[in-house]
Chains A and B, each alone.
Chain A
Amino acid sequence: MKHMALTLRVNGQDRQILVSPSKTLLEVLREDLNLTGTKHGCELGECGACTVLVSGKPLLACLVPVAQIDGAEITTIEALGGPSNPDPLQVEWARLGAAQCGYCTPGFVMSAKALLDGNPNPTRDEIKEAISGNLCRCTGYHKIVEAIENVAQQQQVSKVINAVTIASRQTTAVEVRD
């Protein structure tokens, strides 16, 4: 079958690939780009393990023929950070033991990331809704919800601290001018 030359923007980098149009984004990420953080589970859209962000929205990489997203911005778990520079979600996941076997974790973290990017202060129901497309067969849902809640709270707190810091700096600047 005829191959297609595509440019994918993955985690901020342009990646040129030559693929069959019948390859899914999941296959390309894992097999052509060696980004194996995104997991393959059911491969039929029923588990959420392969969740990635396409233009900021969570989608299932197993159901997207790669030719369909030529040019879109793709974000995978690798973009969030690694052992030396983890994302707050990854830190909290590890701290609470929200990963048991860990297979569903990348998908869950990407769903959580999309939620907090759009809604920095979600309710518990909104969190449950946001991760309702991800299955954890170790059934560790409580810790997952708590991890997301904690990160949201931390971000709210740091926002307040930043605001106070900026306000106090401005006050100082005014005083100096006086």
Chain B
Amino acid sequence: MLRLPEFEYAAPTTVAEATRLLHERGTKAMLLAGGTDLIPNLKRRQFRPELVVALHKVEALRGIQERSGRLVIGPLATLAEVAAHPAIRSQYPALANAAAMIGTPQLRNQGTLGGNLFLNTRCSFYNQLEEWRNSDGSCLKAEGGKCQVAPGGKRCWAVSSSDTAPVLAALGAELRLVRHDDERMVPVAALYRDDGINYLAVQPGEMLTEVLLPVAGTWDRTAFLKLRRRGTFDFPILNVAGAVKFGAGNVVERISVMLGAVGSTPMAIDAQKLFAGKPLDNAAATAALQTQAGKRATPLPNTDASHVWRKRMVRVYTARILKELAT
């Protein structure tokens, strides 16, 4: 049996209690939502928290509701709930589709939206058992040592592998982050840092309490595409999310396109500058967007499939997302 390390366990019932524990125990405490990312990581000894704070008894973190015209999703909403929710499916199909493509039915019943947003970055050298990692000096993200992907470099290239992060960033969703004495709202795009190790731009002791989608009608169409080897189980080796609002004459008024799983953070590509005032099938703008996406993406040989092929696919999927948004 692959067993968990020993830890202290707490199951608070309120956000205040949870944030107090995070404040008191600092980096020695970790939050447990659905557990589909944290538990395998603990089994592989990627973290050794003293205290695991289970959130399942905090009712305020559950549910999906409408508030002042916005859908507000509790971070403990499971991916299955997000995928099946009628209002999400009709207003933001890209989010429902992204959630439906994560993992497997079992993992979606267990895994949460908050967990997918905070998903630890992944790398084929890092996501291994301790013995395997240490057989060749481990890596920067695990116990230190050298980067096995880019051995000369000083940075970690572990990959942002969330499917919902690029979608929520493209939609312009916001997050409510709460600390023991403080709270703030941040756009989803501002949650991430381009660093495989410190991939989250959160303050110590902060936790996610709400995911707020933009008001209905902000976008006319949303779309999501995911590249992976199998039709199930797999993490993305590339994903693309897009949202568009059309103006009079069916030209683009606003457009947002994000790439995921080809770097340590979801990446925005500046479609707005290229497409504003033009129809979505404008050939010159499409070619320019493909070039920009291809330059921005930095796939490395640290996930499934060849990174050279993944880089080529960035251009292909960038063109495809525009077609998805048009139909």
A contact residues vs B (CB 8 Å cutoff)? 1-2, 4, 20-24, 27, 40, 43-46, 48, 51, 57-60, 62-65, 67-68, 111, 129-130, 132-134
Contacts and interface: CB of A to CB of B under 8 A. Distances in A.
A65 B32 contact: yes
A21 B11 CA distance: 11
Nearest to A64: B35
Contacts of A40: 1
B231 interface: yes
Contacts, number: 94
Nearest to B107: A45
Contacts of B1: 27, 40, 43
B312 to A, nearest CB: 28
A21 B56 CA distance: 14
A108 to B, nearest CB: 12
B226 to A, nearest CB: 14
Interface residues of B, number: 31
A1 B6 contact: yes
B128 to A, nearest CB: 11
B255 to A, nearest CB: 32
Contacts of A45: 36, 39-40, 103, 106-107
A135 B35 CA distance: 21
A58 B108 CA distance: 10
Contact of B4 (A23, A46, A51, A59): A23
Nearest to B231: A132
B5 A22 contact: yes
B233 interface: yes
Secondary structure type dominating chain B contacts: loop
Contact of A27 (B3, B7, B105, B232): B3
Contact of B103 (A22, A23, A43, A133): A133
A60 B54 contact: no
B52 interface: yes
A68 B105 contact: no
Contact of A63 (B39, B44, B54): B39
9 contacts: A27-B1, A27-B3, A44-B43, A46-B233, A58-B106, A59-B106, A67-B9, A68-B54, A132-B105
Query: Which 4 pairs show the lowest CB-CB distances between chains A and B?
Result: A133-B104, A21-B9, A132-B232, A43-B2
A82 B2 CA distance: 29
Interface string B1-36: 111111111010000000000000000000010011
A94 B291 CA distance: 56
Interface string B222-262: 00000000011100000000000000000000000000000
Given A45-B40, A59-B106, A68 B7 contact: no
Contacts of A27: 1, 3
Nearest to B129: A44
Contacts of A22: 3-7, 9, 52
Nearest to A27: B1
Contacts of B4: 22-24, 65
A60 B105 contact: no
B109 interface: yes
